[in-house]
Amino acid sequence: MIYIFDTYEKLKEFCDKEIINFPQYNKKYKKEIFYAKSYYDNKRNLYEELKERIEYISERYIIPFLLGFTNKVIDLEPDLIQVKEGSSGGIDIDSDFSPEGKEQIQSYLIEKFGKDHVIHVGTYSTLGPASAAKDLLRIYKVDFKQSVAFTKELVKELSWEENIENLKNTRQDLYSFYLQYKQVFDLVPYFIGKVRQSSTHAGGICITPEPIYKYIPVDRVSGEVATAFPENGQEAILDEICGLIKIDLLAISILEVIDNTINLINEKLFLIEENEIQKIVPQSYIDKKINGEQNG
């Protein structure tokens, strides 16, 4: 059923009642109802315009859903999105969301494609000259302050042998430290390049048409299943595999700050007195105070 409202007041009265049943869309609704008012202020009828464009109405809007023009809501379109093709035909999609939006999109993808078809992208870090030396010195209980002074002078781009030669020529004090613990330092080359720790990509998710394990090996990282291919700043093997869609759902906190700022701008402001101090506060501040008192 499609509801017809020829004034903003009637539209808002109806939608205010309906949105109570969909609290997850309350923030989205506050934005839309604010912009809906501009239609009527400019002598435009929102219902008539929705009716004329019904085939173009996106399911990411809540008011058409409340009015009956759509039967579902696809929540939170990316604020910024970039699509690029992988080297062997795979698709790599980069998108930025607010932190809340990222969680909702992840849940949506799992619900839409299935848990076996959506998996976090695994990543890893490797030991370099400094980290390998630091870990070994800690294991052998070498003085921490001396260890830090030594390892901070090591250059990641140089080999172990080049680093030691560089210290020999420029820092005799550190080279003497090297000679003092040479038995420990001789183990360092065996650890350089080895995986130090596995983790999951900050926002990387891989989607496949069939269960993920039919395409690639998987690993378990911190209790979660993740791709077992190396993915870091230097390597991106998933991009080279055909048939995979890799989405980077990045949570950008500044988007949430902007979103909250817009909501505050749109809110009514009230002059109140609290602890004998006059304050100008938004409606949300008063709502929190009321809810807190009721819960208390």
How many separate domains does the chain show? 4
Question: Going by DSSP bridges, is the β-strand pair 277-282/269-274 parallel, antiparallel, or unpaired?
Answer: antiparallel
Q: Domain range spanning residue 59?
A: 8-67
Indicate the pLDDT class of residue 88, thresholds 50, 70 and 90: very low
- Are residue 243 and residue 99 in the same domain, yes or no? yes
Q: Is residue 2 part of a domain?
A: no
- Are residue 118 and residue 232 in the same domain, yes or no? yes
Indicate the pLDDT class of residue 281, thresholds 50, 70 and 90: confident
- Are residue 106 and residue 220 in the same domain, yes or no? yes
Instruction: Say whether pLDDT at 266 is over 50.
Output: yes
Q: Is residue 159 part of a domain?
A: yes
- Are residue 173 and residue 42 in the same domain, yes or no? no
Measured between alpha carbons, how far is 215 from 251 in angstroms, rounded to an integer? 27
- Are residue 218 and residue 247 in the same domain, yes or no? yes
- Are residue 142 and residue 120 in the same domain, yes or no? no
- Are residue 162 and residue 135 in the same domain, yes or no? yes
Q: Is residue 53 part of a domain?
A: yes
Indicate the pLDDT class of residue 57, thresholds 50, 70 and 90: confident
Residue given tokens 């315009």 in the structure block: 49
Q: Residues 280, 283, 285, 287: what is their CA dihedral angle, to the nearest 10 degrees?
A: 150
- Are residue 137 and residue 270 in the same domain, yes or no? no
Higher model confidence: residue 286 or residue 70?
70
Amino acid 267: pLDDT: 65
Where among 151, 174, 191 does a domain terminate? 191
Q: Residues 139, 142, 143, 144: what is their CA dihedral angle, to the nearest 10 degrees?
A: -30
Find, among 32, 29, 28, 33, the residue nearest to 8 by Cα.
33
Amino acid 236: pLDDT: 59
Where among 140, 164, 191 does a domain terminate? 191
Higher model confidence: residue 175 or residue 209?
175
pLDDT digits (tens, 9 = 90+) for 223-264: 777 877 656 555 556 666 555 677 777 666 666 676 667 666
Q: Is residue 74 part of a domain?
A: no
Q: Is the pTM of this model over 0.85?
A: no
79 CB burial (10 A radius; 0-12, 13-18, 19+):
middle
Counting residues of the chain whose pLDDT is more than 90, the rounded percentage is 17
- Are residue 199 and residue 121 in the same domain, yes or no? yes
Instruction: Say whether pLDDT at 181 is over 90.
Output: yes
Higher model confidence: residue 1 or residue 225?
225
Higher model confidence: residue 141 or residue 1?
141
Average pLDDT over residues 114-143: 87
Residues in CB range of 108: below 8 A, 6 or more apart: 74, 75
Q: Is residue 36 part of a domain?
A: yes
192 CB burial (10 A radius; 0-12, 13-18, 19+):
middle
